[in-house]
Amino acid sequence: MANQGVNDPIHEPVNTGRRRFLTATTAVVGAVGAGVAAVPFIKSWNPSARAKLAGAPVTADITALQEGERLVLEWRGQPIWIVKRSKAILEALPTLDSHLRDPMSENPEQQPAYVLEQDPELRSIKPEVSVLVGLCTHLGCSPEMKAEIRPEPFDPEWKGGYFCPCHKSRFDMAGRVFEGVPAPTNLVVPPHYYENDTTIVIGVDPQGAA
Ligand code: FES
């Protein structure tokens, strides 16, 4: 499948993913509502459309991804974020643990086990590259990325992360949720593996992963 990431200092690519997600959901509901009459139409879909709906893996080339940048793509109708974290961000993550609801990612629903092997506070296969499903675990909005370490109106001690403006949930740069916000759990880390140093396949576990 072709690469489909775009660099994203703004929110539009994420919103696009969200919109596609809603469109796909509507399309499925419409097909069910049409009943038998929809079958010939479904048969005429091309293989790639069927594969996409079924959740075929998506490949991302991260060669050009710079520190502090985010690549946004779509997998199973969800926005997937691939973010390159700086050394300063990585050093800040453990300092946040006492403010977080699940700092060691003990809820197994929110990530595959292999992203915790190296360091559960980072939630990633490679320390500097974070891969997340970009949907808030409260009501499914797509949070804003606030990747810089600097005071923010919602947190004067902000160490970088994601902020969901609708109900003010906050997540750090590993997608770990803060205490005292409506989102109940950390952001989801999707299954993924590295095909080579700069190519990530979303939707498939690494070979041999439990
Ligand atoms: S959907 Fe994120 S805080 Fe409500």
Place of tokens 């498939």: 204
Confidence at residue 103, expressed as pLDDT on a 0 to 100 scale: 98
Distance CA 93, CA 39 (A): 51
136 in ligand 1 pocket by Cβ < 6 Å? Answer: yes
Strands 144-146 and 129-133: unpaired
Residue ranges and CATH numbers for the domains of the chain are 10-202 (2.102.10.10)
**Beta pairing class for 70-75 and 78-84:** antiparallel
Distance (Å, whole) CA 77 – CA 24? 7
134 C-alpha to center of ligand 1: Å? 12
Query: What is the Cα–Cα distance from 92 to 147, expressed in whole angstroms?
Result: 12
Output the CA 190–ligand 1 centroid distance in Å: 19
- Please state the pTM of the whole predicted model: 0.77
Print pLDDT tens along the chain (210 aa).
444 443 443 333 444 444 444 443 333 333 333 333 344 444 444 545 655 556 799 999 999 999 999 999 999 999 999 999 999 999 999 999 999 999 999 999 999 999 999 999 999 999 999 999 999 999 999 999 999 999 999 999 999 999 999 999 999 999 999 999 999 999 999 999 999 999 999 999 998 775
Q: State residue 5's pLDDT score.
A: 41
DSSP state, 207? Answer: T
Residue 173 confidence (pLDDT)? 98
CA–CA separation, 9 vs 14, rounded Å? Answer: 11
